[in-house]
Amino acid sequence: MIIAMIGLILGILLGWYLPITYPSSYSLYMSVAILAALDSVFGAIRSHMEKKFNSTIFITGFFGNAILAGFLAYIGDRLGVPLYYAAIFTFGGRLFQNFALIRRYIIEKMREK
């Protein structure tokens, strides 16, 4: 959990000073992809607490979900259907679920001590 925070902060600082930009028309796809990636990270933390973590599943999930979410948003834009809602609801819902589980595990751990 702590190491995730450290990584996140490190990444934000790194990204802030990197001179990388992309067209603002892609920002919607990017935001959905970020949501998917964030969900993967939370999933990884949860699976670690359940002692079921598998790095292959994590890495493929991380990239697969992000790419699929961005692609879905793009297809939705082409078709005129806001398909990115699907990604937002799925990943947003799972994010909270994962967070709830992580919280529960941490509280249990603290009680054991």
Partner 1 sequence: MKWDAWKLNITIFCTIVGVLISLQIKNVSGDDLYIPLKEIHDYRLSIEAERKEIANLKEIIEVRKNSIKEYEKAIEEGGILEELMLEELKEKKIIAGFTDLEGPGIILILDDGTRELEEGEDPNNVLVHDMDILRLVNDLKIAGAEAISINGQRLLSHSEINCAGHTIRINNQFFAQPFVIKAIGNPKVLEAALVAPGSYGELLKQYGIYIKVDTSMNVQVPRYPEEIDFQYLKAHEEGD
- Binding residues for partner 1, per CB under 8 A? 3-16, 18, 20-22, 24, 27, 30-31, 33-34, 37-38, 40-41, 44-45, 48, 53, 55, 58-59, 62
Task: Choose among 58, 31, 35, 37: nearest CA to 46.
Answer: 58
- How many Cβ atoms are within 10 Å of 85's Cβ, its own excluded? 14
CB of 71 to partner 1, least distance (A): 16
Provide, rounded to whole angstroms, the least separation between the CB of residue 110 and partner 1.
20
Q: How far is the CB of 19 from partner 1 (least distance, A)?
A: 10
User: Do the Cβ atoms of 84 and 73 come closer than 8 Å?
Assistant: yes
| Cβ nearer to partner 1, comparing 21 with 110 | 21
Contact predicate 32/67, CB 8 Å:
no
